[in-house]
């Protein structure tokens, strides 16, 4: 009888764990990278069914003729960019913080999804509506969600998480970890164990690295 009761209690706890993990994190409770890592819900990842086309991008959400890529290039250029007809950005000055390089021609830049689309799918986006996935892929509501970086570093990163890839510039890694965690918290995404371990190690070496985020709005509301 005791064993049966114990089994029932254990089953109840296991049922509650995912529900507790999925509870929204209050942004005011998170002020440092270490706080953010601790707040991330832990879950196994699955790439079953993933297709890049499930995340529609780059779109012109505000209908101003500038798609998301161009909006990021305009916003991140350190000088007034040159913009030709049709909102084609042709020149400017961009600092790629992953590798510390400055570029003046946009052709050498990729717009990196801080948390790659495939990683987002693995971490919860597979359950989202197409509208939420589109909002994620074109998120201009947070400076850290999309970042202009050298094509070389973006393609080196591909769809990897911080357990297998970090920026080649060592001084960028604490900022990168904070941006990664903030993006996952913003969108309610999970982490798997190797990712959590890597982020915990980073947080321990980054001191009081600040972190802030605002939860993303639901496009269906």
**Cα–Cα–Cα angle for 88, 159, 51, rounded to 5 degrees:** 80
Cα dihedral 74→79→85→88 (10° resolution): -50
Nearest in space to 209 (alpha carbons), one of 42, 29, 37: 37
**pTM recorded for the entire structure:** 0.87
Nearest in space to 114 (alpha carbons), one of 79, 159, 151, 82: 159
Residue showing tokens 């201009």:
140
Q: Consecutive 10-residue runs of the chain (221 residues): their mean pLDDT?
A: 36 35 62 96 97 98 96 98 98 98 98 98 97 98 97 98 98 98 98 98 97 89 67
Domain locations in the chain? 27-205
For residue range 28-78, what is the model confidence (pLDDT) as tens digits?
A: 689 999 999 999 999 999 999 999 999 999 999 999 999 999 999 999 999
d(CA 43, CA 124): 9
d(CA 9, CA 22): 21
């Amino acid at each position: 009888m005791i064993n049966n009761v114990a089994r029932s209690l254990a089953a109840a706890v296991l049922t509650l764990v995912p529900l507790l993990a999925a509870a929204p994190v209050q942004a005011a409770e998170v002020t440092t990278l270490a706080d953010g890592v601790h707040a991330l819900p832990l879950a196994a990842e699955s790439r079953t069914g993933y297709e890049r086309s499930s995340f529609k991008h780059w779109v012109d959400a505000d209908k101003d003729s500038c798609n998301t890529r161009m909006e990021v290039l305009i916003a991140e250029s350190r000088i007034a960019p040159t913009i030709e007809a049709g909102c084609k950005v042709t020149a400017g000055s961009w600092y790629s913080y992953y590798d510390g390089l400055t570029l003046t021609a946009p052709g050498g830049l990729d717009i990196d999804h801080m948390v790659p689309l495939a990683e987002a799918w693995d971490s919860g986006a597979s359950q989202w509506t197409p509208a939420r996935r589109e909002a994620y892929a074109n998120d201009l509501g947070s400076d850290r969600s999309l970042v202009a970086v050298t094509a070389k570093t973006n393609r080196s990163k591909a769809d990897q998480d911080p357990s297998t890839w970090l920026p080649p510039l060592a001084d960028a890694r604490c900022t990168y970890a904070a941006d990664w965690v903030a993006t996952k918290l913003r969108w309610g995404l999970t982490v798997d164990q190797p990712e959590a371990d890597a982020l915990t190690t980073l947080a321990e070496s980054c001191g009081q690295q600040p972190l802030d985020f605002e939860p993303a709005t639901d496009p269906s509301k």
